[in-house]
């Protein structure tokens, strides 16, 4: 009988998965920032589409690569959301979250390797920041909505045993890309604390422009959204008592 991977191996998968996700996703954002700065033109919806596609591709790749090893959470909010409905053990949450945050930093350092320090100074390592017109509470709400959408899709496609096999990575990746295309403007579309944490840390070391005062937005919102989505999906799919077979001695009630 096959034994599941050890916690160390699963955390390694979470570290590598998150690192590659940050390298490609926020790395594309940073590269686009460098291009727009060089050409003097504003970011367009086409740019956002390319960025969303990059995120969709790397998320799908990481789910298919690491899903059978660690579950490919690559997002602390997803890990906490799963734990909140007993789909993941709470005792392993600290190890997973630590691996994800460390992976986010490693991925941001990878952007420096690929793009040089201009990736931080000009491209800001793709760090998520609130738009000037986005308030703090509004930012939390937007990040919660984004994560709610992502998490409820994860519950349906990757957690529910009735989901069609083989489509989880594709559907989850496309969901991430679609969310970014719609919400990149107000908050930068993080819905992943590790995705924000890595670029923030490395930006702080290499001359990027971030405000740590905004970081709680990218923690509180995703945690609320993921937890609410997990409970919502469980409530919607839990078998109702009326659909369970009667036990000996039970009386069937009709009409109420």
The full DSSP string for 48-117 is HHHHHHHHHHHHHHHHHHHHHHH----SHHHHHHHHHTTSS-GGGHHHHHHHHHHHHHHHHHHHHHHH-T
Q: Is 173 helix (H, G, I), strand (E, B) or coil?
A: helix
The mean pLDDT of 216-222, rounded to a whole number, is: 98
List, for residues 80-91, the tens digit of each pLDDT value.
999 999 999 999
Joined tokens for residue 93 = 């949450």
Is residue 59 predicted with pLDDT exceeding 60? Answer: yes
Cα→Cα distances 138→75, 210, 214, 218, Å: 22, 19, 12, 12
Is residue 172 predicted with pLDDT exceeding 80? Answer: yes
Is residue 13 predicted with pLDDT exceeding 50? Answer: yes
What does the pLDDT read at residue 239?
A: 75
Is residue 12 predicted with pLDDT exceeding 70? Answer: yes
Per-residue pLDDT band at 41 (split at 50, 70, 90): confident
Q: What is the DSSP letter of 215?
A: T
Is residue 1 predicted with pLDDT exceeding 70? Answer: no
Q: What is the DSSP letter of 161?
A: T
The mean pLDDT of 31-57, rounded to a whole number, is: 92
Determine how many CB atoms are found less than 10 A away from the CB of residue 40. Answer: 6
What does the alpha-carbon distance between residue 222 and residue 78 come to, in Å, rounded to a whole number?
Answer: 8
What does the pLDDT read at residue 213?
A: 96
Q: Write down the residue that tokens 């490609």 correspond to.
A: 24
> Torsion-angle region of residue 41: left (phi > 0), alpha (psi -120 to 50) or beta?
beta
Is residue 247 predicted with pLDDT exceeding 70? Answer: no
What does the pLDDT read at residue 106?
A: 98
- Cα 47 to the center of its chain, rounded Å: 21
What does the pLDDT read at residue 240?
A: 62
Joined tokens for residue 157 = 């496609």
What does the pLDDT read at residue 136?
A: 95
What does the pLDDT read at residue 254?
A: 38
State the Rg of the chain over Cα: 20
Q: What is the DSSP letter of 165?
A: T
List, for residues 101-140, the tens digit of each pLDDT value.
999 999 999 999 999 999 999 999 999 999 999 999 999 9
Is residue 248 predicted with pLDDT exceeding 60? Answer: no
Joined tokens for residue 161 = 């045993």
What does the pLDDT read at residue 179?
A: 96
Is residue 242 predicted with pLDDT exceeding 60? Answer: no
What does the alpha-carbon distance between residue 80 and residue 88 come to, in Å, rounded to a whole number?
Answer: 8
Is residue 249 predicted with pLDDT exceeding 70? Answer: no
% the chain with pLDDT above 90: 86
What is the number of alpha carbons within 13 Å of residue 24 lying toward its C-beta? 18
What does the pLDDT read at residue 170?
A: 96
């Amino acid at each position: 009988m096959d034994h599941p991977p050890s916690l160390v191996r699963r955390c390694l998968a979470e570290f590598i998965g998150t690192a590659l996700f940050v390298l490609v996703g926020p790395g594309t954002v940073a590269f686009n920032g460098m291009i727009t700065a060089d050409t003097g033109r504003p970011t367009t919806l086409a740019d956002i589409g390319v960025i969303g596609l990059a995120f969709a591709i790397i998320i799908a790749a990481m789910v298919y690569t690491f899903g059978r090893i660690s579950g490919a959470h690559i997002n602390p909010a997803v890990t906490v959301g799963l734990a909140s409905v007993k789909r993941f053990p709470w005792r392993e949450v600290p190890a997973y979250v630590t691996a994800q945050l460390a992976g986010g930093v490693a991925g941001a350092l990878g952007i420096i390797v690929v793009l040089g320090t201009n990736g931080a100074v000009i491209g800001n390592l793709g760090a998520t920041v609130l738009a000037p017109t986005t308030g703090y509470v509004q930012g939390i709400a937007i990040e919660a909505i984004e994560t709610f959408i992502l998490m409820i899709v994860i519950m349906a496609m990757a957690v529910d045993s009735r989901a069609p096999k083989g489509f989880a990575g594709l559907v989850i990746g496309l969901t991430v890309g679609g969310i970014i295309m719609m919400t990149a403007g107000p908050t930068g579309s993080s819905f992943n604390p590790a995705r924000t944490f890595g670029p923030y840390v490395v930006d702080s070391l290499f001359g990027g422009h971030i405000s740590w005062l905004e970081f709680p937005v990218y923690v509180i919102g995703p945690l609320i959204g993921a937890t609410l989505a997990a409970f919502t999906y469980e409530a919607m799919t839990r078998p109702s008592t009326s659909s369970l077979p009667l036990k000996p001695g039970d009386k069937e009630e009709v009409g109420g």
